[in-house]
Structure 1
Amino acid sequence: MNYIVFEIGVAIALIALSGLLSAKLRFSVIPFYILVGMAVGPHSFEWWHIDLRFIQSTPFIEFLGRIGVLFLLFYLGLEFSVGRLIKSGRTIAVGGTIYILINFTLGLLFGYMSGLPVLEMLVVAGITTISSSAIVAKVLVDLKRTANPETEMILGIIMFEDVFLAIYISVVSGLVLSGSSSLGGILTSAAMALGFMLLVLIVGRKAVPLLNKALNIRSNELFLLVIFSILFIIAGFSETIHVAEAIGALLVGLVLAETEHMKRIEQLILPFRDFFGAIFFFSFGLNIDPFSLGGAVWLSLAAVLLTLIGNFIAGMWAGRIAGLSSKASVNIGLTIVSRGEFSIIMANLAKAGGLLPIVQPFAALYVLILAVLGPLLTKETKLIYTGMERIGKLMKLKRNKKIKEKAVSHER
């Protein structure tokens, strides 16, 4: 018999329970969604002789997850608009460039040292470079750090990452989905992706007055239908030219953020973002075989260590250039260490392109570790900074002692 409706109901109940548990423990909800998906996925086992494996409904849940990606990136587009990107200027350019330069370079080196092919290396670099906007924003609000001096730099880096992600996913998706790896293919894919993005943004901005009039609709039902039609048509069309559908959604958000209806769209879209976004992380867990994670443990742990080092250096460097204190600079590096939705998007891209299967379990473990570790490190930045200060003082005392001992021995 077909129990797809029952399976969907149980899936939503499990997602809700994992969300309640994460709230109780005051941890990021993302790893809980992924873990519960892994526990009841087609690759798992029967629990206490009750088969909870989501086999019949998995394709449908995966489709709902794809919709979740669209809403996540569409909402991000609404949040920072083209105008805000331009106004944020120097903070985004300085902090973002430093952060991407360090972490992307380390990601490429990590992929190369791991012996991965070129396409897998590019995907892994994307997985390890981009922070989770959702986790970072939630942590800043939960810890009441929105007014801190370093928060502007953190938000600037996140916004810069989102722009970098839009271009990077467009280019990499063209390479992965089209199967082109020649220089000509790379340039063609990049030109097509960037050309499509520029076209949507330029035409979209010119059409803002027209959109203001067209979206002047009283009925929320009709208003949402119009917004959804624009979102899905642009996102769907972008996929036909080998540009990730998520980027089409991001572009629509950027354009609509310039209209006078932005607040209304944001308010109405928020429940859809939360609901389908939760299903997205759950569906990612469904696709992970828990018994295959063992082969990615050391690879994931090495990547986590490299990410922690890269984020710390990037945060200290960006903070010092911006004239922030050492403590604020440490806060920057530790706050943006979390990885989440964007790393998963990159992993799904690898799956769609038929790349090495190791990428999926690697991304799952990597995201799980940093989704848990990131908020914890951010919460304990004061303790970590105090510890660093003590270590620094001890090292300074040891150096001074050695200098004195050398001076005494020289006098003798």
Structure 2
Amino acid sequence: MEHIVFEVGLALTLMAVAGLISIRLRFSIIPFLILIGMTVGPHAPQLGMVDLRFIQSAPLIEFMGRLGVLFLLFYVGLEFSVSRLIRAGRSIAIGGTIHVGLNFVLGLLFGWMMGWPLKEILVVAGIVTVSSSAIVAKVLVDLKRTANPETEMILGIIMFDDVFLAVYLTILSGLLFSGATSVGGVILSGGIALGFMLAILALGRVAVPWLNRVLNIGSTEVFLLVVFAALFLISGFGETLHVAEAIGALLVGLVLGETEHRKRIEHLILPLREVFGAMFFFSFGLSIDPRTLGGAVWPALGAVLLTLVGNFTAGMLAGRSAGLSPKAAANIGLTIVARGEFSIIMANLGKSAGLLSILQPFAALYVLILAVVGPLLAKESKAIFTTLNKVFKWQSPRETKASTAPHGKKEHG
């Protein structure tokens, strides 16, 4: 461990180079961070006499990446409004059900078409169903879409995904490791996860005056300590209730975003969000073994195609059910395409259960492709919608041009 600081310094240097390349090419930094992480990860082959692989520092970088996910989702929560989210509760429930239901059915069909056994089919269905909260949050921030009318639906969907994940992991773990699962246990697990989320959101409605007084702290050091204590304690406690720590961070951001200290928190969190957020995608690349990807190319490409069609369809249906414009609905479908940390969790569960060895490389390649394609589709959503609209005639050109965000501001993308 004596060279760990040097390795972290090298990691930051590589990430900075990735950032410079992405700026030059005017493309999202996410795929560059993942690909560079793959080339220097513990699983990468050693090139020449000098070993450039990140082995000693990999666990530390992975932990720093987890912090990046927390800061990303926390910042998105600060930018949003808990009152808007609560008002949209019914439409979010409908949209989330459409997204999860459609993608889960497509996952089952895909596994069946591949001829895999039942347990593998159930794992694959989980892999392809849940969007990456980290990548979605990064895309919303980078494209400045946190104030767009469709953002509350996007955030609602990733929260709905997390409730589904909590329930589904409970069911699947029982099936894989004990051969059975308790219906009561599943209901209890899902109810606890949902109850935790609703409790935090309710707190954001009633505790704002109290939080304004508590956070009225002159010292920046003490102010940050109080904010970080809330962020890490609530996120970590949520994880013990099967609510992903990233969703816990989003909820804390939603609550603190209602206070009069929101701008101060945003200003202090922004540098941490950028540095640690980049570390997450780099650490994700470190976890991928490029040597195992070859045999999973065709299954991964097939799953990617189904996901693109399924998510766009789900986004259009969810957006239209909430009364959003076709353009805003298309933004939903093109933003929630990315898959990431949750898909890897599902693949690791299959590995622990001794299922087919192709599941992990399949999940890694599937996630890598969508981590690259997802931000690109979101960035080019306006051009994609314009092209498709010429065929399907969802919206007249005049209506598309007149689409505006809340408070009279034009929506981005």
Same fold (TM > 0.5): yes
**Contact map agreement 2:41 2:285 (CA 8 A) in 1:** yes
Map 1:26-37 to 2 at 5 A.
26-37=26-37
Please name the residue that 1:336 is paired with: 335
- 1:4-37 Cα offsets, whole Å, 9 max, x none, are 1111110111111112112211222111111111
Residue identity matched to 2:195: G
Matched, 1:39 2:36: no
Tell me, in whole angstroms, the C-alpha distance in 1 between the residues paired with 2:371 and 2:6.
Answer: 30
Please name the residue that 1:86 is paired with: 86
Tell me, in whole angstroms, the C-alpha distance in 2 between the residues paired with 1:152 and 1:128.
Answer: 20
User: 1:311, CA displacement in angstroms?
Assistant: 3.2
**Contact map agreement 2:8 2:57 (CA 8 A) in 1:** yes
SS in 2 for 1:260: coil
User: 1:289, CA displacement in angstroms?
Assistant: 0.7
**Contact map agreement 2:77 2:250 (CA 8 A) in 1:** yes
Greater alpha carbon shift after TM alignment, 305-314 vs 20-29: 305-314
Number of corresponding residues: 381
The change in CA–CA distance for 1:91 and 1:276 in structure 2 (over 3 A counts) is: same
SS in 1 for 2:293: helix
Map 1:8-407 to 2 at 5 A.
8-88=8-88, 92=92, 98-111=98-111, 113-114=113-114, 115=116, 117=119, 120-121=123-124, 123-127=126-130, 132-134=135-137, 136-137=139-140, 140-141=143-144, 152-153=149-150, 155-172=151-168, 174=170, 181-203=181-203, 205-317=205-317, 322=323, 324=325, 328=327, 331-332=330-331, 335-336=334-335, 338-340=337-339, 343-348=340-345, 350-351=347-348, 354=352, 358-377=358-377, 379=380, 382=383, 386=387, 389=390
Tell me, in whole angstroms, the C-alpha distance in 1 between the residues paired with 2:40 and 2:226.
Answer: 36
Tell me, in whole angstroms, the C-alpha distance in 1 between the residues paired with 2:360 and 2:258.
Answer: 36
Residue identity matched to 1:347: I
SS in 2 for 1:152: coil
Residue identity matched to 1:124: I
Please name the residue that 1:407 is paired with: none
Greater alpha carbon shift after TM alignment, 21-30 vs 311-320: 311-320
Greater alpha carbon shift after TM alignment, 361-370 vs 63-72: 361-370
Which ranges in structure 2 are unaligned for 5 or more consecutive residues?
394-413
User: 1:286, CA displacement in angstroms?
Assistant: 1.0
Please name the residue that 1:406 is paired with: none
The change in CA–CA distance for 1:380 and 1:186 in structure 2 (over 3 A counts) is: closer
Tell me, in whole angstroms, the C-alpha distance in 2 between the residues paired with 1:70 and 1:389.
Answer: 40
Tell me, in whole angstroms, the C-alpha distance in 2 between the residues paired with 1:372 and 1:231.
Answer: 29
CA root-mean-square deviation: 3.5
The change in CA–CA distance for 1:121 and 1:130 in structure 2 (over 3 A counts) is: farther
Which ranges in structure 1 are unaligned for 5 or more consecutive residues?
393-412
User: 1:283, CA displacement in angstroms?
Assistant: 1.1
The change in CA–CA distance for 1:194 and 1:12 in structure 2 (over 3 A counts) is: same
Larger radius of gyration: 1
Residue identity matched to 2:299: L
**Contact map agreement 1:175 1:189 (CA 8 A) in 2:** no
SS in 1 for 2:149: helix
**Contact map agreement 1:107 1:129 (CA 8 A) in 2:** no
Residue identity matched to 2:264: R
User: 1:312, CA displacement in angstroms?
Assistant: 3.7
- 1:340-393 Cα offsets, whole Å, 9 max, x none, are 5xx22441465378355645433332233233334545538647855885799x
- 1:173-218 Cα offsets, whole Å, 9 max, x none, are 5557786743233122112222333333334543332221111111
The change in CA–CA distance for 1:93 and 1:382 in structure 2 (over 3 A counts) is: same
Tell me, in whole angstroms, the C-alpha distance in 2 between the residues paired with 1:4 and 1:176.
Answer: 38
- 1:22-70 Cα offsets, whole Å, 9 max, x none, are 2211222111111111100111122343211111111111111121222
The change in CA–CA distance for 1:382 and 1:273 in structure 2 (over 3 A counts) is: closer
**Contact map agreement 1:127 1:344 (CA 8 A) in 2:** no
Tell me, in whole angstroms, the C-alpha distance in 1 between the residues paired with 2:53 and 2:89.
Answer: 49
Tell me, in whole angstroms, the C-alpha distance in 1 between the residues paired with 2:149 and 2:311.
Answer: 17
The change in CA–CA distance for 1:295 and 1:130 in structure 2 (over 3 A counts) is: farther
